[in-house]
């Protein structure tokens, strides 16, 4: 069966050329006489894979040399817990910007560890925008400011990191990592589940500044009994992400996806490609009132484009007809409704053009 145009929000489309090559490594890898999933994570062959993955991530994102890059498990959701656990001593404060679901989940876990709270929330505005620097004030006592770079569900994205008033910045980059250049050095912690732009689910990239790592070691000393081993940044940094068995298959695929990104010209090339795709779709959304984009113009995401139609019946028909036409996974998340097209790195401009052509045809019939 031919591959359809895949607009899934995650796990999401992977580059077809990468997927086509994966089968070989399943059967036999690196002269080991066994597949990549069947060899020890302590073997030299796997060592080259994980080191290659981390090196590529460092190169692609321009990670400063003194930062640590970890490949962990537990998804971005584990980071909602792990960030405050490692950065806050008992009772300490951390500030959060709530741009919807993911930010809300993150602050909930911070509130379990200390005085984690939102200093801004877009809830009253149906999460249609990200805040500007005049919208919030970081508390003096806050140890860090946390934001969600791209909200996968509502389709909003920061054009630049929020102003943290000099506090360490923590970012959930799950749905826009490697989609364009980012100033890693301006962040204390960056984390991202792999299953949108980096590879399959089950791997989480975590990037830690020297401050964050030192802080984790300090907090481990301040918490009664220390930190649980599997949630301890310091321990995972000391063990080069291999305190326990990592997701070897996931890391292998991630390494291959990053090789593809590098071949395409890196994150600068991705930024151009993603801007072109987003522009093609937003131009169509702005062409007629039949489409009702969810995000306000200056908060629009290049990764997840969300919009409504005049009725829920038309939305259901749109999704069903699109699906039949080979345009898959366009149903919006239940908290927004309507339509969501996810345009991650691996989604081609041809897929977006096919979607726009379908939309124009649909509107001419149903509008
Ligand atoms: C921005 C963002 N943060 C966090 C998560 C949660 O990720 P995970 O399911 O890997 O825990 C998601 C999932 O889609 C997400 O889009």
Lookup result for tokens 């909003």: 156
Mean pLDDT throughout 262-275? Answer: 98
Cα distance between residue 93 and residue 333, in whole Å: 32
106 plus 56 within the same structural domain:
yes
234 plus 304 within the same structural domain:
no
| Structural domain of 319 | 265-366
Host H or E run for residue 3: none
Of the candidates 176, 196, 249, 277, the residue annotated as catalytic is 196
Host H or E run for residue 180: none
Cα distance between residue 86 and residue 204, in whole Å: 16
pLDDT tens string 227-241: 999 999 999 999 999
Decide: helix, strand or coil at residue 149: coil
Mean pLDDT throughout 143-149? Answer: 98
DSSP strand pairing (204-208 vs 189-193): antiparallel
Res. 93: pLDDT tops 70: yes
346 plus 275 within the same structural domain:
yes
344 plus 252 within the same structural domain:
no
Range of weakest confidence among 1-10, 11-20, 78-87, 163-172: 1-10
Mean pLDDT throughout 140-161? Answer: 98
339 plus 237 within the same structural domain:
no
313 plus 246 within the same structural domain:
no
Q: Which residues of 257-269 are buried (b: 16+ CB within 10 A; e: fewer)?
A: bbbbbeebebbee
Residue 11 lies in a domain: no
CATH code (residue 93): 3.40.640.10
pLDDT tens string 234-260: 999 999 999 999 999 999 999 999 999
**Both tokens of residue 295?**
């995000």
∠ CA 325-271-66, rounded to 5°: 130
**Both tokens of residue 319?**
């999704």
Question: Where residue 2 falls among pLDDT bands split at 50, 70, 90?
Answer: confident
Mean pLDDT throughout 44-58? Answer: 98
C-alpha 70: how far from chain center: 15
Positive or negative CA dihedral for 88, 90, 91, 96?
Answer: positive
pLDDT tens string 64-76: 999 999 999 999 9
Of the candidates 95, 98, 172, 176, the residue annotated as catalytic is 172
Residue 7 lies in a domain: no
Other Cβ atoms less than 10 A from the Cβ of 39: the count is 18
The total number of structural domains in the chain stands at: 2
Cα distance between residue 331 and residue 362, in whole Å: 15
56 plus 73 within the same structural domain:
yes
Res. 168: pLDDT tops 70: yes
Q: Which atom of ligand 1 is nearest to the CA of 80?
A: 4
Contacts of 118 (CB under 8 A, 6+ apart): 95, 96, 97, 98, 103, 107
Of 262, 279, 296, the residue at which a domain comes to its end is: 262
**Both tokens of residue 122?**
């877009």
Residue among 97, 175, 254 whose CB has most ligand 1 atoms within 8 A, to mutate: 175
> Can you give the pLDDT at residue 1?
65
Q: Which of 304, 282, 280 is nearest to 293 (CA)?
A: 282
Contact (CB, 8 A) for 40 and 220: no
31 plus 162 within the same structural domain:
yes
Lookup result for tokens 């809300």: 104
Cα distance between residue 348 and residue 356, in whole Å: 13
pLDDT tens string 295-315: 999 999 999 999 999 999 999
Is 196 one of the catalytic residues? yes
Question: Where residue 219 falls among pLDDT bands split at 50, 70, 90?
Answer: very high
185 plus 83 within the same structural domain:
yes
> Can you give the pLDDT at residue 253?
98
| pTM for the full predicted model | 0.98
What spacing in Å lies between the alpha carbon of 364 and ligand 1's midpoint? 36
| Ligand 1 shell residues, CB under 6 Å | 10, 75-77, 102, 148, 152, 172, 174-175, 193
> Can you give the pLDDT at residue 367?
83
| C-alpha distance from residue 117 to each of 88, 100, 108, 181, 190 (Å) | 13, 14, 8, 29, 19
């Amino acid at each position: 069966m031919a591959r359809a145009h895949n607009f899934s929000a995650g796990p999401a489309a992977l580059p077809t050329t990468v997927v086509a090559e994966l089968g070989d490594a399943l059967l036999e890898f690196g002269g080991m006489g066994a597949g990549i999933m069947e060899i020890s994570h302590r073997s030299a062959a796997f060592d080259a894979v994980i080191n290659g993955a981390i090196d590529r991530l460092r190169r692609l994102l321009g990670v400063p040399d003194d930062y640590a890059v970890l490949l962990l498990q537990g998804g971005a959701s584990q980071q909602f817990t792990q960030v405050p656990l490692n950065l806050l001593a008992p009772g300490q404060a951390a500030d959060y910007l709530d741009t919807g679901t993911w930010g809300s989940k993150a602050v909930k876990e911070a509130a379990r560890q200390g005085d984690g709270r939102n200093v801004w929330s877009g809830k009253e505005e149906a999460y249609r925008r990200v805040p500007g620097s005049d919208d919030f004030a970081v508390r003096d006592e806050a140890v860090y400011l946390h934001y969600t770079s791209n909200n996968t569900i509502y389709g909003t994205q920061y054009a630049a990191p929020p102003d943290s008033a000099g506090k360490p910045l923590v970012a959930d980059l799950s749905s826009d990592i490697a989609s364009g250049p980012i100033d890693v050095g301006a962040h204390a912690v960056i984390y991202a589940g792999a299953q949108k732009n980096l590879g399959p689910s089950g791997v989480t990239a975590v990037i830690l500044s020297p401050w964050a790592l030192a802080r984790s070691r300090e907090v481990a000393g301040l918490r009664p009994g220390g930190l649980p081993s599997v949630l301890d940044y310091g321990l995972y940094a000391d063990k080069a992400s291999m305190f326990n068995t990592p997701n070897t298959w996931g890391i292998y695929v991630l390494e291959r996806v990053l090789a593809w990104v590098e071949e395409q010209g890196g994150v600068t090339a991705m930024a151009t490609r993603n801007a072109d795709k987003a522009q093609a779709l937003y131009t169509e959304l702005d062409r007629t009132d039949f489409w009702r984009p969810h995000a306000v113009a200056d908060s629009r995401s290049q990764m997840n484009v969300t919009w409504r139609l005049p009725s829920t019946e038309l939305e259901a028909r749109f999704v069903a007809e699109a699906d039949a036409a080979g345009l898959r996974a366009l149903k919006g998340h239940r908290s927004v409704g309507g339509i969501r097209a996810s345009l991650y790195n691996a989604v081609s401009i041809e897929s977006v053009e096919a979607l726009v052509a379908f939309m124009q045809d649909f509107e001419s019939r149903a509008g």
